[in-house]
Structures are given as structure tokens and as C-alpha cells.
Structure 1
């Protein structure tokens, strides 16, 4: 992917979009100091270049009954490409897995899992996660409360 020039105007556009993804082009152009046409042209270029990869609504997990947030570290018995691919394909199919990272250090993977209750987490652990071929060890920490949660990238 070609690297797009991240000049101050593009950074301001991205800053405003990260704060309000539903902002109108008129309001966006006023906030960044451009007329609507060049502002829309820049936005479309940011989208075409993959800098803006999509738009979403952020939903409060508690409001929809997802009260348990767990951070799960998974160690595989082997770290060859076949075992990594098997695990990654299986884990991608689980809707309660919000994030999954291949890691360095003690664990091979770190997951962020959202479920409604500890009983749901136990079911996830016992019947979905640990049966995946190659899973050797699972360690879980439960979040008590969020302290910092950001969706906007630090563009400065």
C-alpha cells in the first residue's frame, strides 16, 4: 500500500472523524478549515488508500448484557505454521473473541473475550477454547473496570 502524505489537514480530518464518524462533510470541512469539495476529495482519498478502513458504531457492552471482560493468554504445544493457522482459524469464528494477538513472551496468543457471565465464560473455555487442537495452557485475568479505553489513534 502506498504511504499517503499525512499533512496537518489529513491529520485534522482523521482527528475529527475519530471523534465523530457520522459528521457531515459540511461540518467536517468547517472544523478543518477547508471548503466542502476539497475536504470530501481528501476524505475519499484517505478511504481509497485504506487509511480510513471503515465506520462503526461503538456499543456499550454493559448495555447489551456483556458484563464480563476477560484477558486470556493461550500457549500452544507447538508453534509451527500449521498449529498457528489451526488456532487462528478456530478463534476467528468465535463471536465472543473481540481481539486476538500473536504475542512474544510466555504466551503465544492474547485474547480479549466479552461474555455475559462467568458461567458463559466457563462454557467458552471448556467447550470452545480448550478443545482447539494444540492448546496446551490457558491463563485468564478478569477486568474489574476499564481505566482507559480509546478508539482514536494518536495521530500527532
Structure 2
């Protein structure tokens, strides 16, 4: 079955959320935490948002989605893809593509190394919860009963 997909590209690897520096001050935020984002990181995040907005064609997704992300990396340097994904999730929201990153029900992260090349390809599909393996849910229930019985 062919699913409708939205596809977006980013010309470079976005910075990881780990690049944010926690500062200890009393702040009036929901979590009580404040973070300082270095200027170079902030500029890169803004560039990601700009690139996504230029491709969005007023896309505003407000349904559960499956997000597939392919990272094209120029070298074997260690990168924490799940932290980069956190930044990408925020950028998808800030660019107006997703109404909220809590709409991401499934995500697949993959990296490929191509010397001298870099970028990100993002594919977003409507989430199909019909593919949930009922056997896995039963296995989880069995495990929880076993643990709770200890």
C-alpha cells in the first residue's frame, strides 16, 4: 500500500541538543531549568528551520506520524543521533510542518557515511497503528504480571 509521504531535506547535520549549556539560575519556566544556547548553535538551528520552511508549502501536519530520518554523514566521527533528532523534532514544530512533536508516534533513524557528503533526508508518513504486533502486547502483559507477582 502506497502511503502519502512528505519529504524534506536539510543541507547539513543539525547540532545536537547536547550543545545547549545548562545555567543555574532561578527561572520562571515550567521546568525551572534554563539553557543557554551558544550563538553558533542557535544560528544553525535557525538555518534548519529556514530550510524546512522553504520546502513546507504550508504543510501543517496535525495527525499521528511515522518519521524516517536518513543522516548522510561525511565521516565516522561519533554523533548521538537521538539528541540530533530532538533538535529536528523541535525544528519541525518551529517551521510549522508539525503542530506538535508529540505527534511523532514512530521514528526511524538511520545513518550512512559518504565521504565528503552531508545532510538529512526526512520522510513523514501518516502513522498506521494497524501494524502493531498483538503478540508483543500479550508478551508485555505477561511480563508485567510476572514482575508484579514478585
TM-score under structure 1 normalisation?
Answer: 0.23
Q: Which has the larger radius of gyration?
A: 1
Structure that is richer in strand per residue: 2
Q: Which has the higher contact order (CA 8 A, sep 6+)?
A: 2
TM-score under structure 2 normalisation?
Answer: 0.23
